[in-house]
Amino acid sequence: MDIVLIFQLVTAIIIALFVAYNVFHYVLFLLVTRLKDASEIGHQLNQFEQRQLVEWTPQPNDFLKHDDEMRTYDDVFGTYRDEQANYSTCVFPRMAFSHPYEAEYILLKPKDGMRLLDLGCGSGAAAEYLASRRNIEVVCVTNSSVQADICRRKFAKLGGRGKVIVTDFDSLDLPSESFDAIYALESIGYTKDLDGWLARCWRMLKPGGRLLIRSPGSLDHCRRKEDYLSVTVFFENWRYNFVGANLLVYKMRELGFNPIRYRRLPFWAWGITWNFIQHMLLWKYRLKMRTFVELERIIWRTSKVFVFGNPYNTVLATKPEAASCSRQPSASAPLTRGSLGIARLYLRTMARSGFSTFNTVRVASKHAPLRRTHSHESDGPGYPSPGSSGFYVPT
């Protein structure tokens, strides 16, 4: 076999692999943009999902324990890649090397004049892409001043249609029914109060608004205590709660979201995407994050069915057109599922905050008097100004 023939054969193999890899990405793109109805999941939680709500919920000082006891989130990540890179574990572009956030654009369906809220914006890559496609306003929330500066530089090129709030998103207090869509791409696991976080999204969404959540990993299919204990190391290392589709749908249904759609992709599929491979190499060899340095050992001691079937979760929920945060049920009218869910979540949130007794409970649009606590920064009219006190809690 001569050299020319060998070269042609190798070239053909490379081209075939490239085409196959892009077809693979396109199939994933189709799956995550064509979500399934969630009516068959989210009706009950398994024992490990119940345990994670207690044992894996991040605590206020966990920001100082990212990866180990010595590094914060910014210490680990910071500007570890160029400003055009994304922080997402997994994205689903139409092809392997095309724009990573086209699937989010299709799911959120932004239209000119809409207002979107990005909870945990990272470097603002998704917000920048959405704002470049439509004449919309995007409000980004991050607890990282490093990320906020990157976002502001990007938004300056878009005529100031993006605003940045630097705060813990568990303390966010923005007007009710002020956003057409809210999205959280791999950030919901940092919330210290999942019930309160979702209830806040419900309140801030306009009727008909969409809530999009992406979250890697879950305990939906965990069946063995040994596997639960094995993967707990990821929470201990990242201080991130791996919230799955089943758990999210369960909580969203309580609030009254309808319809709810979802997609779960197994790790054997999303784990070989181009974006994930890049990140895994960065985490393992450059950032030297403990769980990725020890990844092979963790996989070896954990059920392979659980590991390779562990899903990447996409959940898209809609607030019904008839729903309204300002509508109060009359004394004689029965409470809807949504209002009952809000009441239950409100009680849980207040109980966690130290309130042990209640004389009366009323689902209403007017909040309890507010007091200011910590400081945060924000941009734009209608938001606290830089340097002002901005975390609000009920008195």
Q: Which two tokens stand for residue 168?
A: 């813990």
Q: What does the alpha-carbon distance between residue 37 and residue 45 come to, in Å, rounded to a whole number?
A: 18
Asked whether residue 364 is domain-assigned, the answer is: no
Asked whether residue 360 is domain-assigned, the answer is: no
**Do the Cβ atoms of 378 and 165 come closer than 8 Å?**
yes
Q: Is the peptide bond before 369 cis (omega within 30 degrees of 0)?
A: no
Asked whether residue 344 is domain-assigned, the answer is: no
Q: What does the alpha-carbon distance between residue 171 and residue 189 come to, in Å, rounded to a whole number?
A: 15
Query: CATH number for the domain including 134?
Result: 3.40.50.150
Relative to beta strand 115-119, strand 179-185 is: parallel
Asked whether residue 394 is domain-assigned, the answer is: no
Give the pLDDT score at 66: 73
Give the pLDDT of the chain (395 residues) as one tens digit per residue: 688 888 889 999 999 999 999 999 999 999 999 999 999 999 999 999 999 999 998 888 776 677 776 777 777 776 566 677 777 888 888 888 788 899 999 999 999 999 999 999 988 999 999 999 999 999 999 988 888 998 999 999 888 888 999 998 998 989 999 999 999 999 999 999 999 999 999 999 999 999 999 999 999 999 999 999 998 988 888 788 999 999 999 999 999 999 999 999 999 898 888 888 888 888 888 878 878 888 888 888 899 899 999 999 999 999 999 876 544 333 333 444 444 554 555 455 445 444 433 333 333 333 333 333 333 444 443 433 333 333 333 33
Which residues, other chains included, contact 380 with Cβ-Cβ below 8 Å and sequence gap of 6+? 139, 163
pLDDT per residue over 332-383, tens digit each? Answer: 334 444 445 545 554 554 454 444 333 333 333 333 333 333 334 444 434 3
Distance of CA 250 to the CA centre of its chain: 16
Domains in the chain, number: 1
Give the pLDDT score at 344: 54
Distances (CA, A) of 350 to 30, 90, 149, 335: 41, 35, 34, 20
Give backbone dihedrals phi and psi of 178, rounded to 5 degrees, phi first: -110, 0
Question: DSSP labels for 327-349?
Answer: ----SSSPPPHHHHHHHHHHHHH
Give the pLDDT score at 196: 95
Within a 10 A sphere around the Cβ of 140, how many other Cβ atoms? 28
Asked whether residue 345 is domain-assigned, the answer is: no
Domain that holds residue 206: 3-324
Give the pLDDT score at 341: 52
Q: What does the alpha-carbon distance between residue 234 and residue 340 come to, in Å, rounded to a whole number?
A: 34
What is the distance between the terminal CA atoms of the chain, rounded to a whole angstrom? 83
Which residues, other chains included, contact 93 with Cβ-Cβ below 8 Å and sequence gap of 6+? 25, 29, 99, 100, 101, 102, 103, 275
Give the pLDDT score at 81: 64
Give the pLDDT score at 82: 65
Give the pLDDT score at 69: 66
Q: Which two tokens stand for residue 287?
A: 């950032």
**Do the Cβ atoms of 299 and 310 come closer than 8 Å?**
no
Asked whether residue 347 is domain-assigned, the answer is: no
Half-sphere exposure of 306 (CA within 13 A, CB side): 20
Asked whether residue 340 is domain-assigned, the answer is: no
Q: What does the alpha-carbon distance between residue 315 and residue 212 come to, in Å, rounded to a whole number?
A: 6
As a whole number of angstroms, the longest Cα–Cα distance in the chain is 89
Asked whether residue 358 is domain-assigned, the answer is: no
Half-sphere exposure of 145 (CA within 13 A, CB side): 6
pLDDT per residue over 33-85, tens digit each? Answer: 999 999 999 999 999 999 999 999 888 877 667 777 677 777 777 656 667 77
Q: What does the alpha-carbon distance between residue 366 and residue 383 come to, in Å, rounded to a whole number?
A: 19
Question: At residue 27, what is the residue type?
Answer: V
